[in-house]
């Protein structure tokens, strides 16, 4: 199914144009945060491999909550309107 109005991200002064899958993907591509997201994914994956019980899972959840809170604060500073539309708390 093709969207009627796909979302595109223009970078490098109009030289590069990429299609985004959603608002978050557009935000990541526009700010060039792909390496940061990949790094966070690797860290989360490594932490999840170490989970051996409920205590470790709760510790990792606490860490992930802190990371998400920090990312939300950055988003609120960078683009408050986008933060308002993405953050549902």
Domain ranges of the chain: 1-32, 33-89
- Mean pLDDT, residues 21-50 taken together: 84
**Contact by Cβ (8 Å): 60, 51:** yes
Considering only residues 77 and 4, tell me which one the structure prediction assigns the higher pLDDT: 77
d(CA 9, CA 17): 6
- pTM (two decimals): 0.55
- Mean pLDDT, residues 43-60 taken together: 83
What pLDDT digit, counting tens, does each position of 61-81 carry? Answer: 898 899 888 888 887 887 777
pLDDT at 41 over 80: yes
**DSSP line for 3-64:** -SS-EEEEEGGGTEEEEESSHHHHHHHHHT-HHHHHHHHHHHHHHHHT--SHHHHHHHHHHH
pLDDT at 33 over 60: yes
């Amino acid at each position: 199914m093709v969207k009627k109005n796909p979302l595109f991200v223009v970078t490098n002064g109009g030289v590069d144009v990429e299609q985004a899958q959603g608002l978050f993907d557009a935000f990541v591509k526009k700010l060039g945060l792909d390496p940061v997201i990949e790094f966070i994914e690797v860290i989360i994956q490594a932490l999840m491999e170490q989970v051996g019980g409920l205590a470790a899972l709760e510790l990792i959840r606490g860490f992930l909550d802190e990371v998400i809170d920090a990312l939300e604060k950055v988003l609120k500073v960078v683009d408050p309107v986008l933060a308002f539309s993405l953050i549902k708390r």
